[in-house]
Structure 1
């Protein structure tokens, strides 16, 4: 059998009637002795042809480009044909691997079978030694020949390991009529090259099987990473690192007398070109070396949990490794079971895991003609109780197909199963066998579309329930495929035995109105690899996700922030939650509450006074506002004239406010007013102050007056030529505005313009003369006024006419 972490084998196939086929996959085993079976008689007429070598990865799940080096793996593909060899019981054929290769798995005996009328019939066995593959036919071939069967031919694949370097371009692999096989690429087989150094973090890995009784697990860790995560200074001083390892079902730790197999290795320090593998100590207390300091390793086993404590002078920025063996429950590996293991770095949330399954190393391929192809199914099982599922357990898989053209188009080809009346579609069935890779018995034209389905109730093992099957093709979860040309599409079919549960999500909201009917989206990712999204209303109704999960699965749930947004509100989002699927019959619920805070903003108003008016300290203006929020917020602001802003805070975003200055508060006597707003309508924005400037532009109201002089009386000839008038003006508040002097000649008019509105008092200077008595009279706009002065009211845009009449009367004796 071979261990794999993913499906990916590709096999060459040929299909006509019933074809004998051999595929020899191998895996690494810890074997200390080789038993060589009795040599059968090779039939020289059995033709072995088309031998090719391909470099592969260590799991045999993918091809690698480049030339081989010692220790690396290769795949040997070949065809065999005994149809003209008159093969009989006891006949055999042998492939000798020669000098440079050995089988990965030996000693090993695998059945050799043919497919006849849809059934697998064993016709012999193939024995693998270190450097040979010997396939011997049983007396079943005589029975088949007697029944008329003669198509003893097929293909085979053996997984090999390169064991010796060479510059030759060929390997001395020999069989009937074959003396050498081309090596991959050019340059022969190179010497082993040490693994390139790479920095470890914290990593769990699955190792190889040994003797089918157990396997090896390992933990790689780097001191830089571990130190950062644990807060420990790993600088070469003696420190302790603790790890917890948890085995999955179907495995048991080997402790007690086997503590010597728990080993701590030093793998090198950053800057090294290649990895080292220096054994330091083991859990029995036996130090392999103290050249790098005194290291200790202890293990405490409790069921399928082991606490691993490593203590020593760990070098900074260096790699270390712990390896340990486990045995399989029941004493033997169960083929097709997914074995899992996880490790946790103590004192941190760092957890790593890996899994691996092993399938039979012998599988059947169908040889395919040009223009035809097929598919094969590898069946694996997982979950609680999976380790108890017997190897060889069968499931029935339904195959639906659609041909590129009607079946009659393809000469010498018979459609498998039941062909529909349309001649293009049909159905068939095949068996999927736990722990085996089973090819579909037949071929299809290139381009045929295949859909696969499985009813878990068809399982031949009924002691456990089964969840829905999962088909995996090319790394994608899908049950459909398209047939290629002379290729076999690899399908991995997984059935989970564990009871499954699921979870639901509830959403509550606070702080915002009218959002209970809103749909909120939650994304989830689960430890079993499933993920998805679910829409949940905000009224507290639980919505169950549309997937089921194995018990023990943890799912991280996080709300999609975009769908949670509500206009005008700031969301206090709930923290992500992790739920554990712990019960198949009880729905796990996760409840989330979204707390919303109303977004708010503000506006401010400041006053600018310009023009002819000068405001006094402390002078204010009244500005009114009215808003359309739910509270219908309104009011008045007393805004200082000095430009200091006055604000209104805490208004809901989206609120519209209208700003207007109180007209009476803006008026100033004697001034014309023009009011300008930077904005009169505001829309409130989040965390923003909308600034409004109200500018009052004042223009002084002005008028004027004129003075005319009239001289009268019998002494008029004695009067001076000119007369002087003084005037002094004040505004309505009694504040002086303008003053001055006019020289007026009788018979002429002199005027004063741009006098601020208010009152002006006009007086005439002494105009007395010798020899005459003076009497002065006044008129304002033609109306006589009493007194020695004239007072005029100056109004905007008007001119007041003042006339002063001096009457001189001669003195007479």
Structure 2
């Protein structure tokens, strides 16, 4: 027997749509990148500022990306940077990762001309350099620009240790999670003998909330929870609201050992804009054969410094710019679409205007007034109505021209054949 079945579908092949989103890091978009510091110690931070701009023949399209690669010796602090202008228009977003930066541009960047902008972000020198050694790296951040040198010096190893103190505190924000501040606090670092209970009160500053589940106490043993600390008779832990705690270390357990406290705080929405985060604490204690002491201390952690912005221009005054793209996907532009241009009264202006390989066509030197365009022809895969009028206005007081983004749907046609049986 012979079975003949014919099914034909049109509409998913866009071979003539040539302008898709592209990666811009190697083709000249980046003008410069600048390190605030090029001599770093292990764990030290620096800021990188990147400037970019469109060039003749290099125009940013919707969905285009700019990817910067960080060398393994420098770790980026994670974050998201909106590229906005002063009016709040968003040209795109830069995602800062530990290993790279990926900026994705929006339709605003495509609609405007002469787009330029900048962004800056922080990196940290990693632990890949041995003590007492220096390592020089050359990086172009994955661009076509000249490489720059950064030197990282390993930690100093003097073969000795400094004596402990009664109390010390510090904190940091790690590149992997910039929403969290990591705090640590050491009590009785010199392992003194104690005659009375040690009483510690710790209070977070504004812009952060204490994560009670993260609270651990170690130093004298493996880090343990507050519940285990209390159960083993070392003392008590009392949380006071969402930003403070009190710890009483029993005198019978506190002599001759160090208590190492660690915990985290979550940065609040309002805290995101703070330049730094503070933490204050007080300690009451009495060392054997010495007078009672009531003292206080504080620590400060700088917030991650990152930001950016962009701007662009409309077409010149009196200019109409048409951009054709597939409906629902502004990254796929349509060449060879024909338009006629009319005044509001129906008088045709000029001849027929045809979009170029980038899906664009411009009409300059239009007088102020109301106009409309009509699409009269295009590739056969497009679904359009030649009767549709797309209006626009050239304003006499406008400093710039007009840009029209006009979408088209794609035809989808299904044709089903018939079965023919031949039982010979």
TM-score (norm 1): 0.29
Q: Distance in 2 between matches of 1:199 and 1:130?
A: 34
- 2:95 & 2:155 partners in 1: Cα distance? 29
Counterpart of 2:137 in structure 1 is 170
Distance change >3 Å, CA 333–CA 178, structure 1 → 2: same
Q: 1:74 aligns with which of 36, 46, 49?
A: 46
Cα distance, 1:98 vs structure 2: 2.8
Residue from 297, 300, 308 that aligns with 2:247: 308
1:153-164 to 2 correspondences below 5 Å:
153-163=116-126, 164=128
Question: 1:708-719, aligned counterparts within 5 Å?
Answer: none
> Once the 2 structures are TM-superposed, how far is the Cα of residue 48 of structure 1 from its aligned partner?
2.6
Q: Contact 1:264–1:282 (CA<8 Å) still a contact in 2?
A: no
Q: Take 2:111 and 2:46, find their aligned partners in 1: how far apart are those partners?
A: 36
Instruction: Tell me if structure 1 keeps the 8 A contact 2:208–2:266.
Output: yes
SS in 1 for 2:94: strand
2:94 paired with 1:112? no
What secondary structure sits across from 1:243 in the alignment?
A: strand
* 1:183 alignment partner in structure 2: 150
Q: Does the 8 Å contact 1:281/1:295 carry over to 2?
A: no
Distance 1:213 1:102 in 2: 16
Deviation (angstroms), 1:103: 0.8
State the SS of the aligned residue for 2:227: coil
Q: Deviations over 1:397-451 (max 9, x none)?
A: xxxxxxxxxxxxxxxxxxxxxxxxxxxxxxxxxxxxxxxxxxxxxxxxxxxxxxx
| Kept in 1: contact 2:236–2:247 (CA 8 A) | yes
Q: Which residue, 12, 25, 28 being the options, matches 1:46?
A: 28
Residues 265-307 of structure 1 deviation map (CA, whole Å, 9 limit, x = unaligned) = 36xxxxxxxxxxx8554423279xxxxxx99363112335422
CA distance in 1, matches of 2:269, 2:48: 28
For residue 219 of structure 1, give the secondary structure of its aligned residue in structure 2: strand
**1:298 counterpart = 2:236:** yes
Report what 1:245 is aligned to. Answer: 202
Structure 1: runs of 5 or more not aligned = 1-38, 56-64, 228-232, 267-277, 288-293, 367-813
Q: Specify the alignment match of 1:403 in structure 2.
A: none
Listed one character per residue, the Cα deviations across residues 634-663 of structure 1 (whole Å, up to 9, x for unaligned) are xxxxxxxxxxxxxxxxxxxxxxxxxxxxxx
User: Which runs of structure 2 are paired with 1:604-619 in the superposition (5 Å)?
Assistant: none
Is residue 284 of structure 1 aligned with residue 227 of structure 2?
Answer: yes
Aligned to 1:334: 271
1:42 Cα deviation after fit = 1.1
Q: How far off its partner does 1:169 sit?
A: 3.2
Question: Which blocks of at least 5 consecutive residues in structure 2 are unaligned?
Answer: 1-19, 286-292, 312-424
For 1:52 and 1:198, the matched residues in 2 are separated by 40
Residue 83 (structure 1) aligned with residue 55 (structure 2): yes
CA contact (8 A) 1:40 1:92 kept: yes
**Higher relative contact order by CA 8 Å / sep ≥ 6: 1 or 2?**
2
Partner of 1:809: none
Q: CA deviation at 1:70?
A: 3.7
For 2:99, the equivalent position in structure 1 comes to 131
2:264 to 325, 329, 332: 325
Instruction: Compute the RMSD of aligned alpha carbons.
Output: 4.1
Alignment of 1:676-695 (within 5 A): none
Aligned equivalents of 2:215, 2:157: Cα separation in 1 = 24
Give the corresponding residue for 1:220. Answer: 186
Deviations 1:741-796 (A, max 9, x none): xxxxxxxxxxxxxxxxxxxxxxxxxxxxxxxxxxxxxxxxxxxxxxxxxxxxxxxx
CA distance in 2, matches of 1:326, 1:112: 28
Shift of 1:175: 2.4
Distance 1:248 1:100 in 2: 33
1:99-126 CA-to-partner distances (Å, cap 9, x unmatched) read 3222122xx33212345xxx34321111
Distance 1:198 1:167 in 2: 28
Query: How has the CA–CA distance of structure 1 residues 138 and 72 changed in structure 2, closer, same or farther, with 3 Å as cutoff?
Result: same
Question: How many angstroms does 1:162 deviate by?
Answer: 2.4
Contact 2:118-2:308 within 8 A present in 1 as well: no
State the aligned residue count. 272
2:67 touches 2:101 (CA, 8 Å); kept in 1? yes
- Alpha carbons of 1:300 and 1:250: their partners in 2 closer, same or farther (altered >3 Å)? same
Deviation at 1:219, TM superposition (A): 2.7
Provide the C-alpha distance between the structure 2 equivalents of 1:53 and 1:42, rounded to a whole number of angstroms: 23
